[in-house]
Amino acid sequence: MGKHGTKKTTAQSVIMTVLSVLCYTAGAFCALFVFVGAWPMLIFTAFFIFIGMFAYKHRFDKRGGDPAVSRTPVDGSTVQRKSPDTIPAPAESHVAGTVEYLVYNYNEPVVANIPRDRIFTAEIIRRRMNVPFHGNRDLGYVLGGGNGNGYVLSYNGAPFGVIPNDRLCAYLDDVHARTISCVWHEWYEPTIKSIKALAPSTRRSRSERIIASMIGAGKWDSVDDVDSIKASDYKPNAMADSLLSGRGFIDIEVSLDMIPTPKGSYAKPHVGIFHDGAALFEFDARKMVYGELVRHAGQNALARVEKKLSNDGNGSPYYSIMLVFQSDTSSQARLLQSHVGIADNR
């Protein structure tokens, strides 16, 4: 989407522009008589020039929008009841998060009284509409409506900007959002704020996508709170190969347990990942992931096992293991009952 939308022209701008041109022309005509000695015409010259300047200056309504809306101050008393840094948001259908998304600020007067770093709530408008250009409705732009054109944001009923991020707009639709938290930290230009919308991340890393697919998370569900461990094993493994049977990956139920060291050894016990009572993978204390595995010893988990080729120049095969845990036994059981079973990417 471009920075600007469709320009709007009104009858007022046309009429005042034509009047200014006519007055300047009349003033120039009267000035000709002044040059030939008709000094009384100087008064008419000055009159027409003055009217022309007045008409040109007032081609547009400088108030822009409803003054009562544009100049509505932040309600400090309401803010203080909640938090000194937050303007209250409706409890229903509201989106907030830690990731900042760009908002094109077209109408600075609407947000002029919002302090720096103060979180405020903007309404989401999904239809196309005219957004005044920094207080001037006659220089407004028709914006929004989705389908690659973003969504308009308004504050206290007055439109001020547009979210251009299509993925964020899709997220807002999926969660049926009506409002979203916004904030500004710096100036885009000396008199125009750089507004940011606050929402959860709409992109997942590869590990997060794997976890989401393992636990059946929704498209936008956060997996930040999922307890997981990622490990790699570079040793040949006939049991893993048998389970994979040529598939790209498998999801299986496993358990973690300590493997005692031989009698007389001073080495720390190994940690084993067991499937059907047999040790599928085994890790010693030299592995960076050892401490995390020990912490989960005695627990069941859902494991995704993949066979990959390393980037060491030789293309050596290795096994990537993603373990997903639940915080309590009952939820762990539900997870395993719902999602465990051999899965593949065929």
pLDDT in tens, 183-209: 999 998 888 899 999 988 776 666 767
Give me the pLDDT at residue 172, please.
86
For the stretch 157-171, pLDDT in tens is 899 999 988 888 888
Give me the pLDDT at residue 276, please.
92
Token pair of 170, please? Answer: 């899709």
Q: Global pTM?
A: 0.43
For the stretch 15-30, pLDDT in tens is 777 777 777 787 777 7
Quote the DSSP letter at residue 119. B
Residue 328 has pLDDT above 60, yes or no: no
- In the chain the beta strands, taken as DSSP E runs, fall at 6-7, 94-95, 99-105, 120-125, 129-133, 136-143, 151-155, 158-163, 179-189, 192-199, 227-233, 249-259, 270-275, 278-283, 300-309, 317-325
Give me the pLDDT at residue 21, please.
75
- What are the C-alpha distances in Å from 28 to residues 14, 16, 36, 39, 47? 21, 18, 13, 14, 11
* Beta partners for residue 131, in sequence order: 141
* 146/273 Cα distance (integer angstroms): 49
Q: What is the arithmetic mean of pLDDT over 35-46? A: 73
Quote the DSSP letter at residue 253. E
Residue 8 has pLDDT above 70, yes or no: no
Residue 57 has pLDDT above 60, yes or no: yes
Determine what percent of the chain is predicted with pLDDT higher than 90. Answer: 25
Q: Is 32 helix (H, G, I), strand (E, B) or coil?
A: helix
Give me the pLDDT at residue 343, please.
39
* 197/74 Cα distance (integer angstroms): 18
Where does the pLDDT of residue 9 fall: very low under 50, low under 70, confident under 90, or very high at 90 and above? very low
* Beta partners for residue 124, in sequence order: 153
For the stretch 270-292, pLDDT in tens is 999 999 999 999 999 888 888 88
Q: What are phi and psi of 254, to 5 degrees?
A: -135, 170
Give me the pLDDT at residue 183, please.
94
Residue 99 has pLDDT above 60, yes or no: yes
